[in-house]
Amino acid sequence: MTNSQTIQKTKCKRILLKMSGEALMGPNAFGIDPATCLSFAKEVKEVYDEGIEICLVIGGGNIFRGVSGSAQGMERASADYMGMLATIMNALAMQSALEGIGVPTRVQSAIPMATVCEPYIRRRAQRHMEKGRVVIFAAGVGSPFFTTDTGAALRAAEMGCDCLLKGTGVDGVYEADPKKEPDAKRYEELSYTDVLSKNLKIMDATAISLMRENNIPIIVFNIRHKGRLKEVIDGKGICTTIHGK
């Protein structure tokens, strides 16, 4: 089965888009670039306008990465909590960009922060999407030692999403880093077991296992390519599909 057939069979009525925090930096070396944030918001709106229910998870690596902080001597749990706070900042920035172009949006945080966003409540999030709102899930799973990939996988399962789309800086999953090895092969399709057995670093093992248990396809694509998100949803864009075989 081709990528296009897999995506079309899935029908993608409700999706979770996982973006790295680094994507929001744009041309900068750190932080949030408003123009880049707006550009990604327009990509989301393109899909939203087709009637697809959307939720997002955005990493925090453009502001603070817990693993890096831990590696430099910071206590791991504290470093991870700081990383979670970074994801809330990114979520609020994306909410502002989306609402600025007419897309109603809610931010829900796994760490209660009622002054700036809603606490994560599964049924409320589902209701928001049913009412046509984009929901951005922040603060991962609310506990240290888990990545935002695992948070995205968990929310995709809880929301009953048809697929999880992971936006990266390359056109899918490669056998090696294509930026270091230009001749590296890109995979069209992989099984969950392939990803784990080949130790491919597209998502952490916990996230892959959770997707396998819930039989939710993962679609890896280049989010920096303008229009690629909609192309992938339509079954036309270049990507790698990870699913059960």
Q: Which tens digits make up the pLDDT trace of 72-131?
A: 888 999 999 999 999 999 999 999 999 999 999 999 999 999 999 999 999 999 999 999
pLDDT of residue 5: 46
User: H/E element holding 181?
Assistant: none
pLDDT at 8 over 70: no
- Is the domain defined by 3-243 classed in CATH 3.40.640.10? no
Residue that has been written with the tokens 């589902």 in this structure = 126
pTM of the model: 0.93
pLDDT at 4 over 60: no
Nearby residues of 147 by Cβ (< 8 Å), 6 or more positions away: 140, 204, 206, 207
pLDDT band at 177 (very low <50, low <70, confident <90, very high): confident
pLDDT tens figures, 21-60: 999 999 998 999 999 999 999 999 999 999 999 999 999 9
Backbone angles phi, psi at 25, to 5 degrees: -70, -25
pLDDT of residue 1: 47
For residue 55, which of 156, 147, 146, 149 has the smallest C-alpha distance? 156
Determine the Cα–Cα distance for residues 179 and 87; give it in Å rounded to an integer. Answer: 26
For the chain, give every domain's residue range.
Answer: 3-243
pLDDT tens figures, 190-227: 999 999 999 998 999 999 999 999 999 999 999 999 99
For residue 206, which of 147, 160, 158 has the smallest C-alpha distance? 147
